[in-house]
Amino acid sequence: MLFYEHLEIMDATKDRGMNLQLQSGWANRAWTQTLAATLGLLVDGLVLQQLQISDAAAGDHEGRECAETFLRLVLGTASKRAWSMAVYDLPGKTFAGFLDPNLHSAAGAVNRCQTDCEIVQKALRLQGDAACADSQGIKATLSELWVHKELLVQEFWEAGEQCAWDFEKLYPQVYRLFDNMISTKEVLEDCFGHLSHRNKVDNRNPLFMSVERLFFHAALSPRWLDDA
């Protein structure tokens, strides 16, 4: 699943429109569809039947161990996807949501950007207010942040305030920001995370097949049968 998404990103590097649409989708959390599909494997009857998990008896300790391993694999994949895409929830990356062809999603990106700006500016004012009981906590929190200090973010927020967050006036600026080569870093982290370590573990004993590799071959076996 993540492999095909990586191929989609590689295709997006060849087409400007697809490139912008992919980035805007990430900024508006379209990646949650991949997350839902990944977690959906846990209740997919065909997958559970192929892995012989759904038919495991309650007292079958080996079957229970395999089911727990499958659960950890799916949850691990989903958590990596959520973690690597979390960067698109930060100011700067979220600006790409303006380019979403869905006007409702694009409007949501504008509102989210305006809200982020207002929250950070209010926090900056309160951190120096001696009358505010939470001033020290706010100051400590802001000291750990960095995105609001980036020149790109500051200039964009300033431009948004000057035009009252007018979508048509901000759109050209966002387009210029993201009309470049898309990064494959996030998805590559998902696809190849722990791959080197897993190969080393498997290669230590060539006569032993790990549970992870066993699940991998079992999941692919229907495709082999179809190709045959």
pLDDT digits (tens, 9 = 90+) for 122-144: 888 888 777 777 777 877 777 77
Query: Do 77 and 31 belong together in one domain?
Result: yes
Query: Do 165 and 192 belong together in one domain?
Result: no
Q: Which domain holds residue 218?
A: 2-88+185-227
Q: What is the DSSP string of 158-207?
A: HHHHHTTT-HHHHHHHHHHHH-SPPP-HHHHHHHHTTHHHHHHHHHT-TT
Query: Do 24 and 71 belong together in one domain?
Result: yes
- Using the 3D structure, point to which of 146, 161, 178 is the last residue of a domain: 178
Q: Which of 21, 7, 3, 11 is nearest to 175 (CA)?
A: 21
User: Which pLDDT value is given to residue 187?
Assistant: 55
Query: Do 72 and 14 belong together in one domain?
Result: yes
Query: Do 193 and 146 belong together in one domain?
Result: no
Q: Which two tokens stand for residue 78?
A: 């989903």
Q: Which two tokens stand for residue 41?
A: 């494997």
Instruction: Give the separation between CA 81 and CA 54, rounded to whole angstroms.
Output: 26
Phi-psi map region of 10: left, alpha, beta (phi>0 left; psi -120 to 50 alpha): alpha
Query: Do 95 and 171 belong together in one domain?
Result: yes
Query: Do 17 and 128 belong together in one domain?
Result: no
User: Which pLDDT value is given to residue 54?
Assistant: 64
Query: Do 171 and 193 belong together in one domain?
Result: no
Lowest mean pLDDT among 50-59, 65-74, 87-96, 187-196: 187-196
CA atoms within 13 Å, Cβ hemisphere of 213: 13
List pLDDT tens digits, range 63-112.
777 788 888 888 888 888 888 788 888 888 889 999 998 889 999 999 99
Mean pLDDT over all residues of the chain?
A: 77
Query: Do 156 and 215 belong together in one domain?
Result: no
Taking 90 as the threshold, does the pLDDT of residue 163 lie above it?
A: yes
Lowest mean pLDDT among 14-18, 19-23, 152-156: 14-18
DSSP structure class, residue 90: S
User: Please, are residues 81 and 35 in contact by the beta-carbon 8 Å criterion?
Assistant: yes
User: Please, are residues 84 and 189 in contact by the beta-carbon 8 Å criterion?
Assistant: yes
User: Which pLDDT value is given to residue 82?
Assistant: 83
Q: Which two tokens stand for residue 66?
A: 């395999």
Query: Do 84 and 189 belong together in one domain?
Result: yes
> Which one has a higher pLDDT value, 4 or 26?
26
Domain count for the chain, please give it: 2
Query: Do 83 and 115 belong together in one domain?
Result: no
User: Which pLDDT value is given to residue 225?
Assistant: 46
Query: Do 71 and 132 belong together in one domain?
Result: no
Q: Which of 2, 9, 7, 26 is nearest to 74 (CA)?
A: 2
Q: Which two tokens stand for residue 42?
A: 């846990």
Taking 90 as the threshold, does the pLDDT of residue 18 lie above it?
A: no
